[in-house]
């Protein structure tokens, strides 16, 4: 079992819809969870992080964390074509290393 798992996609959603990206992790000791966006040929950029159970909202983005189910998700409301990218889930345990999933490719079509 991979430490951090994501569906590779592509996930295709129409413009204006909600995109839902999911991530599961295997280490119950994981403490912090990060979502990065990566455009083709570019380096990852941080969207948001979450470390407490529940929801955290930032603009059109909402991160959701359920530690009991070892599950973290990212919702993108009012999806735009400019949101088309690969979204990387990353998990930090009690060390300072981040373990990355392989990413989900999101396509938002007009």
Binding of residue 51 to another protein (CB under 8 A)? yes
Q: How far is the CB of 92 from another protein (least distance, A)?
A: 7
26-45: contacts with another protein (CB under 8 A): 31-32, 34, 42-45
Burial of 41: CB neighbours in 10 Å, binned 0-12, 13-18, 19+: exposed
The distance of closest approach from Cβ of residue 98 to another protein in the complex, given in angstroms and rounded to an integer, is 6
Name the residues that contact another protein, by CB under 8 A.
8, 31-32, 34, 42-46, 49, 51, 88, 90, 92, 96-98, 100-103
């Amino acid at each position: 079992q991979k430490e951090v798992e994501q569906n590779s996609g592509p996930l295709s959603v129409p413009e204006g819809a909600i995109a839902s990206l999911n991530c599961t992790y295997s280490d119950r000791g994981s403490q912090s969870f990060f979502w990065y966006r990566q455009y083709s040929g570019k380096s990852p950029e941080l969207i948001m992080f979450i470390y407490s159970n529940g929801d955290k909202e930032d603009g059109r983005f909402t991160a959701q964390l359920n530690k009991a189910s070892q599950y973290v998700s990212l919702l993108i409301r009012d999806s735009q074509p400019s949101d088309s990218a690969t979204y990387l889930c990353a998990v930090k345990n009690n060390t300072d290393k981040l373990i990355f999933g392989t990413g989900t490719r999101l396509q938002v079509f007009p």
